[in-house]
Amino acid sequence: MRNRFSCLVWCIALLTIAEGTALPAQMDDVSFVASCDGTSQRYIRILPDEYNEDEEHDLLISLHGHGSDREQPATGMQDEFRATRDIAQRYRMILVCPDYRAKTSWMGPQAEADVVQIINDIKQRYHIGRVFISGASMGGAGSLTFAALHPELIDGVASMNGTANHLEYEGFQDAIAESFGGAKTKIPEEYKKRSAEYFPERFTMPVAIAAGGKDESVPAASVVRLAETLKKIGARVLLLYRPDGGHSTSYDDATAALEFITRRTP
């Protein structure tokens, strides 16, 4: 119970920006009408400091954890998201931080549709090269789910402390059932569809996975198995597994994961 509570506290904490730390100058809170149901949804868009509309820029999508929203990856001081923002600036990427439907979305069908729509909208507005997706905790799981469902849209995926198997995972079941449209006993096919472990052949893009052996909130077993399977089939994969690690990824590991998926050399 203590570890589950700690996970929830970590996920919902939208920490105050440290004194003296400037917010990106080109950060906008964007509202859009979701094509799947007509509801109003939001994401934060951060342009790089050296943005040039005449040049091609890669797109990096960063997904928040359970209980949080778009502000966590955009302004939160957790190592995973600080590293994400730094990588986006370093390589002059456009960074997008979606609500992806709810604070407890877990990349259900509506969240999936929203992210597809956001990618298409950003591509229409900006000169986009490659598209990457990353996230931590619920966002780490969602990143793998989305990449497995839409490999044609994604050029690299980084999952930090997520799950790759929703049939196996037992955490936050009420929230996941609401997002997926029912309990796993009622619609197991939907839970399998959103479980990246069952579809390793769809990971045609570089994959980076960070996980902790002592993570009791989102156990690492499924993502470790996925990484091992990807290695066997010759996929490009980086596994950063820390046997004594918990439900977090260090700044250095998060940076290494993002560097791995975004670099252009094999």
Average pLDDT, the chain: 91
Write the pLDDT tens digit of every residue in 223-266.
Answer: 999 999 999 999 999 999 999 999 999 999 999 999 999 987 55
Write the pLDDT tens digit of every residue in 50-97.
Answer: 899 999 999 999 999 999 999 999 999 999 999 999 999 999 999 999
Position 24 confidence tier, pLDDT thresholds 50, 70, 90: low
Backbone angles phi, psi at 18, to 5 degrees: -60, 145
Give percent above pLDDT 90 in the chain. 88
Report which of 215, 231, 125 is spatially closest to residue 163, judged by C-alpha positions: 215
Report which of 84, 81, 112, 96 is spatially closest to residue 181, judged by C-alpha positions: 112
Question: Residue 5's pLDDT is what?
Answer: 39
Write the pLDDT tens digit of every residue in 123-176.
Answer: 999 999 999 999 999 999 999 999 999 999 999 999 999 999 999 999 999 999
Write the pLDDT tens digit of every residue in 25-63.
Answer: 589 999 999 999 999 999 999 999 989 999 999 999 999
Q: Which domains does the chain have, with CATH numbers?
A: 2-14+47-262 (3.40.50.1820)
Q: Is 263 exposed, middle or buried (0-12, 13-18, 19+ CB in 10 A)?
A: exposed
Question: Residue 50's pLDDT is what?
Answer: 83
Angle at the Cα of 160 (from 192 to 246), degrees rounded to 5? Answer: 105
Integer-rounded Cα radius of gyration of the chain: 17
Give the span between the Cα atoms of 54 and 92, in whole angstroms.
13
Could you give the strand order of the β-sheet that contains 237-242, starting from the edge strand earlier in sequence? 27-33, 40-46, 94-98, 57-63, 128-136, 156-160, 207-212, 237-242
Angle at the Cα of 108 (from 262 to 198), degrees rounded to 5? Answer: 65
Q: At residue 206, does pLDDT exceed 80?
A: yes
Token pair recorded at residue 23: 């917010």
Question: Residue 15's pLDDT is what?
Answer: 36
